[in-house]
Structures are given as C-alpha cells and as structure tokens.
Amino acid sequence: MQKLEQIYEGKAKRVYRTDDESLLIVDYKDDATAFNGQKKGTIRGKGVINNQMSNRLMQRLEREGIPTHYVRELSERETLVRRVEIVPLEVIVRNIAAGSFSKRYGVEEGRPFETPTVEFSYKNDDLGDPLIDATHIPVLGLATAEEIGQIRAYALRIDELLRAFWAECGVTLVDFKMEFGKLADGSIVLADEISPDTCRLWDSSTGEKLDKDRFRRDLGGIEEAYAEIMRRLEEHL
Ligand code: TMP
C-alpha cells in the first residue's frame, strides 16, 4: 500500500490518498483543540493512543455486526481505512448528563438518564457545529430520513456495546461523539475515531475523568489519563 499525497488535514488527523482509490490512510497527530479550535495544545503520545484505541474498538464493533471504515493498522499512528463520504453530522449519544447538555439545561453533571439519547450537530466550523433538529437534516440535504434512521439505530447499538465493554474496564461511558460515512454503494459505516478525544470516560469507582475534558477544563494530568485509559483497554481486550 503506497501512501500518496495528503488530501485533508483536520484538527487531530491528516488523511492521505493511496494507490487504491477506495482506501485512505489516516495519520493521528498529538495536536489537541477545544471550543472550535480556539484553545490549542499538544497532548504527548495522544496520536498513538487514539489510533490504537479507535482501531481496537472498531474491530470489536465489527465483530458485533457494526460496519466501520477500519481496514488495517499500519503503524503506531497510521491506519488504512475505507474511503467514505462523511455525513456532515456529529452524532452524540448520552447516558449521563455532562458537558453541553448540563450547561444548556442547567442539569448537574453526573445525573444518569433512564434511556440513552441521540442528538445531532451539523458539522460546520463556520457555524460552530450547531445542534440540529433531526427533521432539518434532510431539508439541508445532509442525509435522508432513511439514513438518519440507520445512523440512529447504529448509534444506540454502538452505545450498548461500548458501555458494556468499558464497564468491564471499570470505566463509565458518559457520552460520546461519532461520525458516519457513506461507501460508494450508499451504505452507512462508522467512520472517524472513537477515543478519549471523542468520549467522556469516568472511572466507575472514583469518578475521575479519563478523557479530553482534562484538557478542555485545564484539570492537569492529561497524558497520564490517556495512558491509564489505554492500559485499562489493553487489560480487558
Ligand atoms: P458536549 O457535551 O460538549 O456536547 O460533548 C458531547 C460528547 O462529544 C463528549 O463526549 C465530547 C464529544 N465531542 C467531540 O468529540 N467533539 C466536539 O467537538 C465536541 C463539542 C464534543
């Protein structure tokens, strides 16, 4: 597999073309941003952890029948993925109140939900990724009603699977963000990454935050938290 020119650079990853039209290489950086890029920093070793964690979790989800873009890990920071057209939505599942939910509705962080919720944000940096009502998604031509139904069903199943897995590791999955993509045949697959950058992961007994909120909120101990969550994952795979 030959790595050709870079076609995209995001906040945390670079994407390269390969000599196979249907495959891309993703290269994970240590760069961290928050609040739509207003806060910038580096989390040493994050790229390696996010790459490996996302790949392990996607392999596990694949075994449970969730289609993903994952193909093969190429190196510590690089992964071969299927080329998809990203559906420009951030798909967020919440199990416990935290973050923007708590802020928007004035609910204290840590209050569990009776059933998980799925919400969508429109992936658009200029607009600051606004929350979007599901009925507005087809109006804007971002996805069809049928695609939204499929995405919602995958999101809830992924939540169920990841919650159970993290529970084995003594970790509570509070909420997380996913992105989905469309293959050439129109089918929907899980894309992007699942990592401490995109999940809230709390130690089940102490409540300690083991995710990017340590960076967003200047809590310190960020590298240690990423290393700890990776250690837990590897112990239970
Ligand atoms: P929120 O509570 O800030 O809306 O975040 C919900 C989840 O989504 C949380 O696990 C962090 C993740 N997330 C991202 O992955 N990228 C983002 O840009 C934002 C705002 C949140």
Amino acid at 217: R
User: E strands along 154-236, which residues?
Assistant: 171-182, 188-191, 199-203
The mean pLDDT of 55-75, rounded to a whole number, is 98
Predicted pLDDT at 169 = 98
pLDDT at 206: 98
Q: Assess whether pLDDT exceeds 90 at residue 237.
A: no
Which protein residue's CA is at the shortest distance from atom 17 of ligand 1? 198
pLDDT of 179 strictly over 90: yes
How large is the average pLDDT for residues 162-188? Answer: 98
Average pLDDT over residues 146-163: 98
> Distance between CA 54 and CA 194 in Å, rounded?
5
**How far does residue 1's CA lie from ligand 1's centre (Å)?**
33
CB 180 within 8 A of CB 190: yes
Please give the distance, rounded to the nearest whole angstrom, from the Cα atom of residue 176 to the centre of ligand 1: 7
**Model pTM?**
0.98
Question: Residue 149's pLDDT is what?
Answer: 98
Judge if the beta carbon of residue 213 lies within 6 A of ligand 1.
Answer: no
What amino acid occupies position 231? R
Q: Is 200 in the pocket of ligand 1 (CB under 6 A)?
A: yes
Q: What is the pLDDT of residue 166?
A: 98
Pairing of strands 131-132, 112-122: antiparallel
> Can you tell me the distance from the alpha carbon of 72 to that of 26, in angstroms, rounded to the nearest whole number?
11
Residue 154 is predicted with a pLDDT of 99
Please say whether the dihedral angle defined by the alpha carbons of residues 173, 87, 41 and 230, taken in this order, is positive or negative: positive
pLDDT at 56: 98
- What's the pLDDT score for residue 110? 98
Nearest to 77 by CA among 43, 48, 45: 48
| Cα 93 to averaged position of ligand 1 atoms, centre (Å) | 10
Which single residue is written with the structure tokens 């979790």? 57
18 Cβ neighbours under 8 A, 6+ residues apart: 1, 2, 3, 4, 24, 25, 80
Report which ligand 1 atom has the smallest distance to the Cα of 98. Answer: 2
Residue 211 has pLDDT above 90, yes or no: yes
Report the pLDDT value the prediction gives residue 156, as an integer from 0 to 100: 99
The finding on whether 190 has its CB within 6 A of some atom of ligand 1 is no
For atom 11 of ligand 1, the residue with the nearest CA is 198
- How sure is the predictor about 181, in pLDDT bands with cuts at 50, 70 and 90? very high
CA 18 to ligand 1 center in whole angstroms: 30
Q: Predicted confidence band at 85 (pLDDT cuts at 50, 70, 90)?
A: very high
**Whether residue 1 has pLDDT greater than 90:** no
> Which residue has the least CA distance to atom 14 on ligand 1?
198
